[in-house]
Amino acid sequence: MKKSCLITLVLTLFAFSAFAQNADAILGSWANPSGEDHILIYRRGNKYFGKLDWIKFPNDETGRPKTDKNNPDEKLRSRPEWGLELLKDFTYDGDNVYDDGTIYDPKNGKTYSCKMTLEGNTLRIRGYIGISLFGRSETWTRVK
C-alpha cells in the first residue's frame, strides 16, 4: 500500500513538472509582425506577462523617447513605451494555449481580452472584445 502511494506521488510530481516545462516554452522575446517591436514574455508566479523590451524606432519625431500618449488615463500618458507591460495575467491551459489574459495596444490606448497559442517558433495572438469572434489576430515570431 505504501509503495503504491509513493509511486502515485512520484508520477503526479513528474506530470506537474512536465506540465510546467511545456507552459514555460513561451518564455523569451517575440517580434511583432512588422519586426519593429520585441515583447519579452516572462512568468510571475503561475501567470505569464509580456513587456516591450525593444523598439526599432524608440524616439518620436522630436527625438524624445516615445510615450504612452494614447492611454485613456491622462496620468499614464507620459510613461515611456519601452518597458511597457502589454500582456497581463495569462494562464497556461494546456495544449500550448495561454488564455484569460489581456493585451494592451499602445497605438490606440485600448486593452483587449486575449488568447495566445504557441506553435513552435510562432505565437498566434488573438485580441478580442467580449467573445473571440470579434477581434484581430497577429502572428509573432521568436527572436533568436
CA 83/CA 113 separation, integer angstroms: 20
What is the structure's pLDDT at 51?
98
Q: What is the CATH number of domain 26-142?
A: 2.40.128.520
CA 17, CA 31: separation in Å to the nearest integer? 28
Averaged pLDDT, groups of 10, the chain, 144 residues long = 46 39 93 97 98 96 96 97 98 97 97 97 96 91 94
Length in residues, the chain: 144
DSSP E strands, the chain = 28-31, 37-44, 47-55, 85-94, 97-105, 110-119, 122-128, 135-142
pLDDT confidence of residue 143: 97
> Residue 21: its pLDDT value, please?
56
pLDDT at 130: 86
Query: pTM, whole model, 2 decimals?
Result: 0.83
Its sign, for the CA torsion 2, 4, 5, 6, is: positive
